[in-house]
Amino acid sequence: MSDAGCPIVIDPLVRDLDGETRRVRQAGALVPIDLLGVPAWSVTRHSDARRLLTDRRLVKDLGRWRLWRSGEVTREWPLIGMIDPGRSMFTVDGAEHRRLRAKTAQAVTPRRLENLRPVIERVTRQLLDDVEVRGARGPVDLKPVFARPLPMTVISVLMGVDPALHPRLHVLYRAFFSTVTPQDERLAVIGELDRVFTEMVRARTARPTDDLTSALILADQGGEPLTEAEVVGTLQAMVGAGHETTIGLILNAVRALLTHPDQLRAVLDGAVGWDAVIEETLRWDTPVSHLLMRFATEDIAVADGVIREGDGVVISYRAIGRDPEHHGPDADEFDLARTPAAKHLAFGHGPHICPGAALSRLEAGIALAALFVRFPRLRLAVPAEELRNEPVLTQNDVHSLPVHLHG
């Protein structure tokens, strides 16, 4: 694939994600793509992604992007919020990255998360009570009443976000992620999120509690405590990443099971564990379609192409999850019997590997088991072909998931 190759236009409306995933993968290992008029490289192979994710010549620093330096990309670009949020572990590398990440990563180790398990179980139970009431007489959409509130509630307990803010945060994040939000509106949303979280950090600075936000404020970080802007950026990254992706994981797993009834039966019979459901969903229908963006500090050869110094690079996780070179010729099939050795990359790899991976697995495991224990006869209320994605270019986010609870 050469620089002259005609770029694949990534559909901002996400009308045919399966088709697009296939087209991007079939175009090669290093594919020129068009992101709302802006060119970038898409990495589509598991092996290349794994290598590049530990390559120090690829960095998060927006200042290394040729198109940003030249002014061709500005804050008018609808995807700017994905690559230029506040300063946090998400936007820096090297020693600064370790400094910004350490405290958060320690707080979400599997052992520390055991404290959150009873909270997640209780919230799940309460939400399912509500689902039951709403679904008593007809179909109920699992997204607004179950999959959306659960992750926001859990990340809020961890970070100390006031539940009274949830309804507004859902509105703001929906507008933030949607590719079709008018840009002036999106910039206003980003401004409001900044204000909300800055206010919260100031309140915690005045009166720390036992939440992770307070711990970030108080952390010494080897004599270099985080600045207010860094705490705000970290809090935003945790809330932004911690809810949107987990909604996708839960819904995509439910959708996969309801469209593969034989495999669902094997799970309900106890022949297959929920961990297999989660890992196979992460591979086959990962919540993250494209992760924006890294920038090359020098020329980097990949497969049969070259990423030039200053180019932008996207890791296309959905294509990577279906890479037959790594997962075999049946990579396009959802198969819970797949050997766990066929490790997916859905949480990334290397220094930026998702710090919330254990939390999302814990949440999805509790949510899915509780949902199907309560409603073992759950079924889709619309034909699977009618399910649509949200117009969110970077995420694999189903618009709604209407189900019948009792068969």
Q: Which residues lie near ligand STR (CB under 6 A)?
A: 81-82, 85, 90, 236-237, 240-241, 244-245, 288, 291, 395
Give whichever of 65 and 372 is closer to ligand STR, judged by the CB atom: 65
Calculate the alpha carbon distances from 39 to 7, 44, 63, 202, 281 in Å: 8, 16, 16, 39, 29
Residue 286 host element (H or E): none
Give the nearest distance from C-beta 373 to ligand STR in angstroms: 29
Other CB atoms within 10 A of residue 45 CB: 22
Residue holding tokens 């599997």? 110
Give whichever of 17 and 369 is closer to ligand STR, judged by the CB atom: 17
Q: Residue 268 and residue 256: Cα distance in Å, rounded?
A: 14
Phi, then psi, of 59 in degrees rounded to 5: -130, 165
Give the nearest distance from C-beta 237 to ligand STR in angstroms: 4
Give the nearest distance from C-beta 30 to ligand STR in angstroms: 20
Q: Residue 261 and residue 379: Cα distance in Å, rounded?
A: 9
Give the nearest distance from C-beta 240 to ligand STR in angstroms: 3
Give 220's DSSP letter.
-
Give the nearest distance from C-beta 178 to ligand STR in angstroms: 13
Q: Residue 1 and residue 3: Cα distance in Å, rounded?
A: 7
Give whichever of 245 and 263 is closer to ligand STR, judged by the CB atom: 245
Give whichever of 240 and 305 is closer to ligand STR, judged by the CB atom: 240
Residue 188 host element (H or E): helix 183-206
Give the nearest distance from C-beta 384 to ligand STR in angstroms: 24
The C-alpha angle 394, 396, 398, rounded to 5 degrees, equals 135
Other CB atoms within 10 A of residue 259 CB: 15
**In this structure, is the dihedral angle defined by the CA atoms of residues 303, 22, 79 and 153, taken in order, positive or negative?**
negative
Distance of CA 173 to the CA centre of its chain: 13
Give whichever of 288 and 368 is closer to ligand STR, judged by the CB atom: 288
| Residue 215 tokens, joined | 């711990």
Q: Residue 280 and residue 326: Cα distance in Å, rounded?
A: 14
Give the nearest distance from C-beta 182 to ligand STR in angstroms: 18
The residue of the chain with the least Cβ separation from ligand STR equals 240
Give whichever of 42 and 263 is closer to ligand STR, judged by the CB atom: 42
Give the nearest distance from C-beta 380 to ligand STR in angstroms: 26
For the chain, give the number of residues.
Answer: 407
Give whichever of 214 and 316 is closer to ligand STR, judged by the CB atom: 316
Give the nearest distance from C-beta 275 to ligand STR in angstroms: 21
Give whichever of 104 and 263 is closer to ligand STR, judged by the CB atom: 104
Give whichever of 90 and 375 is closer to ligand STR, judged by the CB atom: 90
Q: Residue 156 and residue 235: Cα distance in Å, rounded?
A: 10
Q: Residue 149 and residue 52: Cα distance in Å, rounded?
A: 35
